[in-house]
Amino acid sequence: MFKAPQRNTKPSLAGRGLARLSTLRGRAAPFALGAGLLVMGCAPVPAQQADATLAGPIAATDAAHASYQRVLTAAQNFMETLSPAQRDALVLDYSFANATRWHTYPDATLGSRRNRLGLQLEGLSEDQWGAVYALLDAALGSAPDEGADEVRQHLSIDDYLRRGGARSDYGRSEFKLAFLGEPSPTGLWELQFGGHHLAVANTYRDGLLIGATPSFRGMEPLTPVEHDGGNFAPQLQEHRAFVALLASLDDTQREQARLSRRGNLMMAGRNWDFPERPQGLAVADLDAAQRALLFAAMETFVGDADDVSAAAFMEKYRREIERTYIGFSGSPSLSATGDYVRIDGPSVWIEFYMDPPFSTDQPHPHALWRDKQVDYGGTRP
């Protein structure tokens, strides 16, 4: 039996420690996630450039090292609960090819060439599940409805869909956890956790987080679900934040932000399928109240990283805000299939798309946070 997820009541991202980011360079390479493209039709503007002083890993502060030590301890504690065969399934080679083995679909639908790697969580004991939750608590954000709390809600709703007969390949038992490389005080490794509608990809080097993306979240239904003794809606805060931002635009701003597009999927895939030039409405043209709404929307994604790293990413994105753009297509209420909104900066890329109904009768969100500079910790093919 699985324990019901415990809701987290720790402080929100606001007010948590800040750290700086340093330099990392990398080239983009095209690769699509699934079949389908979005073609954006707004007039191009000059290409973006990331802040070179903030484009790389989290700075080596005491807080960042302490945050990593919590992750390392939790990872090692989990490994101690496993049999030799389970450890062999968990710990794999670090490579770009392995790091890109994430997806939105249930694992059973992907086939052996695309399915997730690592240890399937079916059959874990109660103590082993406790160690998994402790690892997620250490590696992800502590705010309610974000980070570890959001993932626990996600797992509960996937169980709810499975038990309700939506699909037999849903549920937390179908999720996988992988360590790409051996967790250690030095060296390179990635914590990879995922399943239906979820991808966590934290990359670490020499005792520091160097990348928290790609970070994918989806949820069906969008609206609250009563299950496991709680009332869960892990993507509702992201939806509300974007709806509030779009509602704040005046008619002129809304027309500048509107994107034309074809296709029915999100634009960014596993590699670097970003527009060469940003499109939409420049954040430089937003007033202070609108910028506050934009930052609030960003934090619902960036807050999924551990608290120290999330604050550092937000500092970087704030420094680049004058070169950041927002765009949307469909309805600004984000209520119909195909409605879409994104944030596109020199580093930050966030997409939110309303996917067609599948297990319910309502469209549901797919959302993706990428960092153009430090996705996969800066690893390139």
- 3-class SS string, 101-168: CCCCCCHHHCCCCCCCCCEECCCCCHHHHHHHHHHHHHHECCCCCCHHHHHHHHHHHHHHHHHCCCCC
What CA–CA distance (Å, rounded) separates 226 from 211? 34
- Predicted local distance difference test score (pLDDT) of residue 36: 29
Confidence label for 27 from pLDDT (cuts 50, 70 and 90): very low
What CA–CA distance (Å, rounded) separates 27 from 379? 10
Of residues 247 and 272, the one with the higher pLDDT is 247
The owner of tokens 């807050």 is: 303
Query: Among 40-44, 71-75, 229-233, which is the least confidently predicted range?
Result: 40-44
- Predicted local distance difference test score (pLDDT) of residue 123: 92
For the chain, give the percent of residues with pLDDT over 90: 65
Average of pLDDT values for 263-271? Answer: 65
Average of pLDDT values for 27-34? Answer: 31
The DSSP call for residue 305 is: B
Average of pLDDT values for 165-176? Answer: 80
- Predicted local distance difference test score (pLDDT) of residue 264: 54
Average of pLDDT values for 311-322? Answer: 97
- Which pLDDT tens digit goes with each residue over 128-156? 999 999 999 999 999 999 999 999 999 99
> Is the pLDDT confidence value at 78 over 70?
yes
Confidence label for 180 from pLDDT (cuts 50, 70 and 90): very high
Mean pLDDT across the chain, nearest whole number? 84
Confidence label for 80 from pLDDT (cuts 50, 70 and 90): very high
For the purposes of burial, counting CB atoms within 10 Å of the CB of 288, is it exposed (0-12), middle (13-18) or buried (19 or more)? Answer: exposed
Query: Among 79-93, 161-175, 228-242, 358-372, which is the least confidently predicted range?
Result: 161-175
- Predicted local distance difference test score (pLDDT) of residue 198: 95
Average of pLDDT values for 288-295? Answer: 98
- Which among 56, 47, 51 has a CA at the least distance from the CA of 25? 56
pTM of the predicted structure, to 2 decimals: 0.84
> Is the pLDDT confidence value at 42 over 80?
no
